[in-house]
Amino acid sequence: MKTHILAFALSITVCLGARAELKFDKTEIELHPTPADKQAVGHFTYQNTGKTPVKFKSVKASCGCTAAQTQKDEVPPGEKGEVTATFNIGDRTGTQVKTVTVETDDHTNPHTVLTLRTIIPQLLEVTPTFVFWKQGDKPDAKPITVKVGKEFTVNNIKVTSSSPDFQTKVEETGKGEFKIDVQPKDTNSNLGTTLTIQPVDSPKLFYATARVTGAPPAPMAPADQKAPAGQAAPVAPTDQKAPVGKTAPSGQTH
């Protein structure tokens, strides 16, 4: 019995000694891009601490907004390298956590999940980004609050309406806070505008939308528990024209 256990332990030790092993210095990186940055790049450095080469089978990002790549397909023993994860910020806000799954032929540790945590600074927080009036409503002004991010200073903001059918008035309501009063000229027909909000001394633009919407839809028979009675749609939305000129990295779950 003792001999068998000894043989087993010895074989495990031999196997462990001969194995390939890709060790990442960090499997989680936190990035702090500036408001002007369009991308945030994380470098996950690794070393093959084993005695045989390690081959990458696949490197997949959890989101189309993140592209991940390795410098090489095979890592010889002792060699170092890095997996680069590029996160496209787009119009995202707040803290974004994306993962990259690295698959190798290392049987002891075939999958490694790398986490990229990106803290996107918010220069302005606009709430709500959409205000509306129903047709026939009293055309009273509706407020939009603009809060300046804690780490920033904005002395004033400029608001532009894309349509002359809406008027805006900006008021500073406190330190680092503004109120935009939006008012339609009337609510007799469907109207809409995009409000562009720009802090002075910053090229960054923020947006809000104001609309006078159609009358509430005509009643229909309630179909199930979740659908409130007395609501139905007049028209289904028209199919959108597919945007062109953008691609997403393959092998991702969107």
Cα–Cα dist 210/213, whole Å:
9
Which residue in the set 164, 174, 203, 237 belongs to the binding site for other proteins (CB under 8 A)? 237
Smallest separation, CB 250 to other proteins (Å)? 10
92 touches other proteins by CB under 8 A = yes
- Structural tokens at position 212: 């006078």
Which residue in the set 22, 40, 54, 63 belongs to the binding site for other proteins (CB under 8 A)? 63
Q: Look at residue 60 and give its three-state secondary structure.
A: strand
User: What are the counts of helices (DSSP H) followed by strands (DSSP E) for the chain?
Assistant: 1, 17
Q: Tell me whether residue 14 or residue 227 sits nearer to other proteins (CB atom).
A: 227
Which residue in the set 47, 69, 88, 167 belongs to the binding site for other proteins (CB under 8 A)? 88
Q: Look at residue 246 and give its three-state secondary structure.
A: coil
Q: Tell me whether residue 129 or residue 153 sits nearer to other proteins (CB atom).
A: 129
Contact status, residue 99 vs residue 252, Cβ threshold 8 Å: no
Closest to 129 measured CA to CA, from 75, 74, 207, 200? 207
Cα–Cα dist 163/195, whole Å:
9
Q: What is the DSSP letter of 2?
A: H
Contact status, residue 83 vs residue 114, Cβ threshold 8 Å: yes
How big is the site for other proteins, counted in residues (CB under 8 A)? 55
Which segment (41-49, 53-61, 73-81, 223-231) binds other proteins by CB under 8 A?
223-231
The 173-212 site mask, x for binding other proteins (CB under 8 A), equals -------------------x-x----------xxx-x-x-
Closest to 42 measured CA to CA, from 100, 95, 106, 122? 100
Smallest separation, CB 104 to other proteins (Å)? 18
Contact status, residue 182 vs residue 162, Cβ threshold 8 Å: no
- Looking at residues 133 to 162 of the shown chain, list those that interact with other proteins (rule: CB under 8 A): 134
C-alpha to C-alpha distances, 168 to 160, 195, 237, nearest whole angstrom: 8, 9, 29
Smallest separation, CB 185 to other proteins (Å)? 18
Smallest separation, CB 231 to other proteins (Å)? 4
The residues binding other proteins (CB under 8 A) are 1, 4-5, 8, 62-65, 88, 90-93, 126-130, 132, 134, 192, 194, 205-207, 209, 211, 213-217, 220, 223-224, 226-227, 231-240, 242-244, 246-248, 253-254
